Amino acid sequence: MTRLHDADRRDFASDNYAGTHPEILEAIASANGGHQTSYGEDVYTARLQTVLQQHFGPTASAFPVFNGTGANVLSLQSLLPRWGAVICSDTAHIQTDENGAPERIGALKLLTVPTPDGKLTPDLVATQAWGFGDEHRAQPGVVSITQSTELGTLYTPDEIRALADQAHALGMRLHLDGARISNAAAALDLPLRAFTTDAAVDVVSLGGTKNGLLFGEAVVVLTPDADGGLLYLRKMDMQLASKMRFVSAQLVALYEGDLWLRSATHANAMAARLRAGIEHLPGVRVTRPTQANGVFVVFPAGVVEALRRRWRFYDWDVATGEVRLMCSFDTTESDVDELVAAVASEVA
Ligand SMILES: Cc1ncc(COP(=O)(O)O)c(C=O)c1O
């Protein structure tokens, strides 16, 4: 096959614009050859259980899936009865970016809460955690949070623990969308279990793709009795890979050593470098804390258009002109410096 793209071009649109980490490609190649039992009865999926138990504790069980939307919908569906509802931020990926998958595939109701920084608090959850036993209201059964959040912010372990305690006291479960869980752990300088298992999270959507996998995530059940038929739901939700060894091998390669941490630490450092480079430039307004690998900015008039002649990045809020600049495992210092120099020259 002839290469059709410029392999030296990198943008700031999303961490999933990046390709596959070379160590992941090596893992796929190592897992290739010969036959292995399909649908998860392979040695790599077995090894993944051990690897993730080292991170999340001996009772964790992992269900590899194709993508993050699938991991979220499956997690939530497994935690809820047919009449259940999920309390989440109005900026949660499940609300803003999964089309109607939670509602149509999961048949769940989302009860959203406005959150200025993408984070729920017990007080915010309380605005939707009511009506238990009232047949007229979808029954709140899960609180779902994202770590790191869609706005690039972080929960501390204590903040998550408080949400878990509140949820459990009300008979609900706590789900954590960890599409960028590694960025959070790297930024907090904590092991993954410090803000999941040890903070009483029930189920995690464990990220892979954004941190260098070709594709693949996993639903990780931390509370043993929270596995509401995941084995069956995964097939029903079309997330059961027949050649699962290749999804599992990638996740093993990411999480058995320090690749997850190395890559996330690097992506976060590139975001910090970018912020430091632009935040003091005239007219540039960095709108949110840069705690993980995303930088949110409003540029002076005309700058976005000029930058877009070279780079791709997303509008975050068209009304305010806020854009999101995302760094990934393969963003280089010179990528960042080039963007900073372009902003400096545009605002000069
Ligand atoms: C917070 C969050 N959750 C989940 C996902 C996973 O989405 P996908 O279904 O595209 O893998 C994403 C990707 O953008 C995300 O940002």
Residue nearest ligand 1's atom 6 by CA: 68
Residue nearest ligand 1's atom 10 by CA: 68
Name the residue type at position 333. E
**Ranges of each domain in the chain:** 22-255, 259-347
Residue nearest ligand 1's atom 8 by CA: 68
Per-residue confidence (pLDDT) for residue 227, from 0 to 100: 85
Per-residue confidence (pLDDT) for residue 130, from 0 to 100: 98
Per-residue confidence (pLDDT) for residue 131, from 0 to 100: 98
Chain segment 65-109, per-residue pLDDT in tens: 999 999 999 999 999 999 999 999 999 999 999 999 999 999 999
pLDDT band at 23 (very low <50, low <70, confident <90, very high): very high
Q: From the centroid of its chain, how far is CA 171? A: 25
Whose CA is closest to 182, among 72, 249, 262, 257? 262
Chain segment 279-330, per-residue pLDDT in tens: 999 999 999 999 999 999 999 999 999 999 999 999 999 999 999 999 999 9
Alpha helices in 237-332 (DSSP H): 244-255, 259-278, 303-307
CATH topology of domain 259-347: Aspartate Aminotransferase, domain 1 (3.90.1150)
For residue 299, what is the DSSP state?
A: P
Q: Is 89 in the pocket of ligand 1 (CB under 6 A)?
A: no
Per-residue confidence (pLDDT) for residue 253, from 0 to 100: 98
Beta carbons of 150 and 93 less than 8 angstroms apart = yes
Atom of ligand 1 nearest to the CA of 150: 1
Mutate to test the pocket of ligand 1, among 210, 293, 326 (most ligand atoms within 8 A of CB): 210
Cross-strand bridge partners of residue 61: 221
Beta carbons of 66 and 241 less than 8 angstroms apart = yes
322 backbone φψ class: left, alpha, beta (φ>0; ψ -120 to 50):
beta
Please check the confidence at residue 208 and state whether its pLDDT lies above 90. Answer: yes
User: Furthest-apart CA pair in the chain: how many Å?
Assistant: 61
Name the residue type at position 275. R
For residue 323, what is the enclosing H or E element? strand 322-326
Cross-strand bridge partners of residue 345: none
CA of residue 345 to ligand 1 center, whole Å: 34
Beta carbons of 294 and 271 less than 8 angstroms apart = yes
Q: Is 177 in the pocket of ligand 1 (CB under 6 A)?
A: yes
Per-residue confidence (pLDDT) for residue 226, from 0 to 100: 86
Q: What strands lie across the sheet with 314-317, from one edge to the other?
A: 285-286, 294-298, 322-326, 314-317
For residue 300, what is the DSSP state?
A: P
Within the chain, strands assigned E span: 61-65, 84-89, 109-113, 139-146, 173-178, 203-206, 217-221, 285-286, 294-298, 314-317, 322-326
Per-residue confidence (pLDDT) for residue 113, from 0 to 100: 98
End-to-end distance of the chain based on CA atoms, in angstroms? 45
For residue 137, what is the DSSP state?
A: S
Q: Which two tokens stand for residue 201?
A: 């999270």
Per-residue confidence (pLDDT) for residue 178, from 0 to 100: 98
Compute, in degrees rounded to 10, the torsion defined by CA atoms 87, 91, 93, 97: 120
Distance CA 229, CA 321 (A): 44
**How high does pLDDT run on average in the chain?**
97
Q: Is 324 in the pocket of ligand 1 (CB under 6 A)?
A: no
Domain 22-255 has CATH 3.40.190.10: no
Mutate to test the pocket of ligand 1, among 14, 69, 181 (most ligand atoms within 8 A of CB): 69
Question: What is the average pLDDT across 124-139?
Answer: 98
Other Cβ atoms within 10 Å of 198 Cβ, number: 17
Whose CA is closest to 86, among 61, 63, 107, 105? 107
For residue 85, what is the DSSP state?
A: E
Atom of ligand 1 nearest to the CA of 97: 14
Checking DSSP bridges between strand 139-146 and strand 173-178, what pairing results, if any? parallel
Chain segment 47-70, per-residue pLDDT in tens: 999 999 999 999 999 999 999 999
Alpha helices in 88-201 (DSSP H): 93-96, 101-104, 122-126, 157-169, 181-188
Chain segment 132-158, per-residue pLDDT in tens: 999 999 999 999 999 999 999 999 999
